[in-house]
Structures are given as structure tokens and as C-alpha cells.
A and B are shown apart, each in its own frame.
Chain A
Amino acid sequence: MKKVNPNIDKNNKVISLNGLKKSFDDFDVLRGVDLNLYQGENLVVLGRSGTGKSVLIKIISGLLKADEGVVNVLGSNMNRIAGRELDRLRLKIGFSFQNSALYDSMTIRENLEFPLVRNRKELGRKEIDNLVEVVLEAVGLSQTINQMPSELSGGQRKRIGIARTLILRPEIMLYDEPTAGLDPITSIEINNLINEVQTRFNTSSIIITHDLTCARDTGDRVVMLLDGQFQREGTFEEVFNTDDERVKSFYNYNFIK
């Protein structure tokens, strides 16, 4: 069980969602979601597949638009910004994708340089090389710098995906199923990396997962998404200390019987 980070600033909301709604055709995925993420906090969003967890962070990052509700990220209303203003905000948000989303046609070095050379034009070659080395060292994969993504294992790809987001020094990290498809030992390594990123880079994070080990080991606070709304909120133990059959069955069938 993770110890709650003592540096969480409860007076500083980095993300605030109010009455968020999203539908696809006739299917209501999110039915009025309210959520706050505080500075320095790791928030885990738990839920079964298809309950709209990924949709939630895609709305936060501006990849999808909400049908209704307010999405406030670092003081900006996501519904009202676009173009360069949105790009500037996105530089402060790191998004780690479920399948890593590394660019297949580029080496690991080029993958890591990609966001830098386009958004930090003031940097010289030496500074870029230095930043690449720092993030690769942070995820423990310095030796892979000249390899292609196809040459890496699933766990290594996840780490490089996280490194690529860290290179822009984001204030917020969004992890989409960070341990999906990984063996238990690699999953633990990724969980440790998420905690290390929180302390070393002072980030606030939303971790989307249905892996209860990941939720237990990385979350300062856990919320559970059921039927398009957050039904439970608290520490890992508080969330599962309930008589709600839907929550109990999630625990029983996914974690420890």
C-alpha cells in the first residue's frame, strides 16, 4: 500500500471537472462527472473496461470535446481554448498511452527529440542530447537510445512512452492503463516508476487502470467509475470497504479472493 504523498497541496486544484457528460451515438459514457486533482497528487481512476476511463483523460488532454460540463486544467477552461493556447497548455500535460504510441519509423532518440525540437526551438543540439539522456536515465533505459521501438519489450516501450512525455517537464501526467498487458514483475517496476516520477518531477497524475495492484501501489486517492459516474472515492481501503456488490465483485474477481 502506498503512503499518501505529504506534499499534496489541497489548496491548489490542477484539474477540476464539473458535471462532465459525454455520449457516443446513443450511449452515455460519462453522465455528470465531478472531480478535482490536487497539486502533487496521484489520483487513480478505477473501473471496468468500456466505462469511459480513457474518454475522461482524452477530454482532459483536449483530444475529445465534452458534450456538457466544465473542464478546467491549470486554470484554463478546455472548452474555450484552441490553437496555440491549447498547444501551450498541452506542453504542461504528459500523456502516457495504453500501447505507448511510440513512432514506429523513428529511433528511440528521435522519438524523445520529437516533441522537443518542435516546441523548444531555443534549445541547441547539446541541450537536446542532454535532456534525452536525463529522461532515458530516469526510466533506466539509456542503452536503448539508438534502437527502434519494434526492438523493445512491452515494458520497455511503456517506459520510453513515459520518458517521451517527461522530456517536456509536464506539470500533469495522465497514464492510460500503464500496466495493461505486462507481467506482474514489470507491472511493479512501472508502478514504482510512476511514484518516482511523482516525487522526482513533482507531477500531479491521473492513473487510469483496472489493475488493482497498480491502484493500490500508486494512488494517493482512488475513485471508482461506475455507470458513467464516480461512485466511490477515498484511499484504496476506503473505496473497497463497502457493501456495494458492483464494487465488491470488482475487488473479488480482479484482485484477491
Chain B
Amino acid sequence: MRSKNENAGETRVRKYIISKRIDAVFTTLADIHFFIVRFFREVFFPPYEFKEIVRQCYEVGVKSLPLISLTGFIIGIVFTNQSRVSLAEFGATSWLPALISIAIVRALAPLVTALIAAGRVGSSIGAELGSMKVTEQIDAMEVSATNPFKFLVVTRVLATTFMTPALMMYVVFVALMGGYFNVHKNELTSFTAYFVQVFNAITFLDIFSSIIKSFVFGFTIGIVGCYKGYNSSKGTEGVGKAANSSVVTAMFLVFIEELLALQIIHAIRFA
């Protein structure tokens, strides 16, 4: 039988642990806030690391192309194939190009691009910066009078922010080509007829909102990867954790942002 004192002691310990955890959550939120504020403070003031920005754009953009191409093309084919079944029930397979176009431009391309970038680029940024942190390379930059935040963080966040929309546009094209490949094979639709329907179905708002969304997704992936890597600790274990949590956090935030964007775009469309 536990005494009253023991129960009270246990409750106090629990309360202490909970308050510590809440404290840690708010401390982390404050850290992220300062990290983002520092990014905007550093991005506008010289020196500008143009060469490193170009190198990072190449790393983020060009090196993602093979994976993005394959994924985008397969998504186009699979989505078309799966949609055909539903449309065929209403004898409306001729609407396939319009359906594919709306789905890809409005939702699939931005989301798929962001998820692939989070997986490939976010993890690599988290691991690279984490490894630089634990091997004192970031300190080495600082003591040689180079601002490591500007050289490592600003360049990478700018690269992900600007390359994600570019990759998204590329995914739109590749996925639509995948869709065309499938439609042409099954319905014998011509290239011109397919793309006339594709472009008739989408509006300026669809394209514009997807580009803006991709900028936000790209920024999120870059800032999360850099934050996790830059603040990693505990040696090699910390590097692994930084890489892993960069991907998980970035993907989670991308879905939240997609949900918010959906509400905003919906409100604008029907305003």
C-alpha cells in the first residue's frame, strides 16, 4: 500500500517532467524563430556567397533531376490509369487530360516535388551540416573570420527556395508527358488534342498558387535541414538524428502548409 507522501512525491516528479518538456518545446520554438530571423537578417547584407549559391543550386536542382524525372513520369502514368476506371463508369474518359492537368498542377506536382526534395535534399543538408558541426568544421570557419551561417545556411536555404519551384514546373511537364503516354496508348488521343485540353483546364491561379506553394515548401525544407544540422550534437548519433528529423519534420510541415494553402486558395477562388 502506497502512502499519501509517496503518491504526492510521484505527482510532483511527473509535474516536473511535464513542465521540463513544455519548457523544452518553447525553447526550441524560440530557437527556430531566432534561426529564421537570423536568416532574413543575413540574406540581405554582404558579403554574398554567389559561387556557393550556384553550387548549391546545382546540388539541389540538377542532381535531383534523375529521381524527379522518373517519379514524375510514373505518377503521370499511374494517376491516369487509376482515374480512367472511375471516369469510364460515366463514359467520361475524354475528360482524362483535364482531370490529370488539374490534379497535377494544383496538388500532385508541388507536393511530390516537395516530398522528394525533403527526402533527398533535406536529409543531405541535415547530415552534411550535422557532420560539419560535430567535426568542428563550422567552428573552423568561424575562427577564420568567415560567417558560417552565411556560407552554409543562407546559401542552402536560397538554393532550396528557388530550385523547388523550378523542379515543380519540371515535374508538371514530366507528369503530363506520362499522362499523355498513357492516354495516347489507350484512347489514341493526339498530342495536340491532349495538350489543348490540358491548358484549357487550368487557370493562372492554379499555376501561380503552385509556384508560390513551392517557394514556401522549398524554404521550409532548407530551413529545417539547416536548423537540424546546425544544431546537432552528440557525435555521429547526432548526425543520424539530424538527417532523420530533417526529413520527418520537413514532410510534416509540408503537409500542414499544403492544407493551409488549400484553404487560402479555395477562399481566393470563390471570393
Residues on A facing B (Cβ under 8 Å): 58, 61-63, 87-88, 90-91, 93, 95, 97-99, 101-105, 114-115, 118-119, 164-165, 168
Contact = CB atoms under 8 A, between A and B. Distances in A.
A118 B131 contact: no
Contact of B145 (A58, A99, A115): A115
A115 B146 CA distance: 7
Nearest to A86: B145
Contacts of B144: 90-91, 114-115, 118-119, 164-165, 168
Interface string B31-63: 000000000000000010000000000000000
Nearest to B136: A101
B139 A99 contact: no
A118 B136 CA distance: 19
Given A101-B135, A104-B131, A118-B47, A95 B140 contact: yes
B193 interface: no
Interface in B111-162: 128, 131-132, 135-137, 139-146
Contact of B143 (A63, A102, A105): A63
A169 B141 CA distance: 16
Given A101-B135, A104-B131, A91 B145 contact: yes
A213 B119 CA distance: 49
26 contacts: A61-B143, A63-B139, A63-B143, A90-B145, A91-B144, A91-B145, A95-B139, A95-B143, A98-B136, A99-B136, A102-B140, A103-B137, A103-B140, A104-B131, A104-B132, A104-B137, A114-B144, A114-B146, A115-B144, A115-B145, A118-B47, A118-B144, A119-B146, A164-B144, A165-B144, A168-B144
Contacts, number: 56
A93 B136 CA distance: 17
B140 A118 contact: no
A165 B146 CA distance: 13
B131 A101 contact: no
Nearest to B131: A104
Contacts of A87: 145
Closest 8 CB pairs of A and B: A115-B144, A101-B140, A87-B145, A101-B136, A95-B143, A90-B145, A97-B136, A101-B137
B56 to A, nearest CB: 11
Nearest to B128: A105
A240 B55 CA distance: 54
Nearest to B144: A115
Contacts of B136: 97-99, 101
Given A90-B142, A103-B132, A104-B131, 18 more contacts: A62-B143, A63-B139, A63-B143, A87-B145, A90-B143, A91-B145, A95-B143, A97-B136, A99-B135, A101-B140, A102-B137, A104-B135, A114-B141, A115-B145, A118-B47, A119-B144, A164-B140, A168-B144
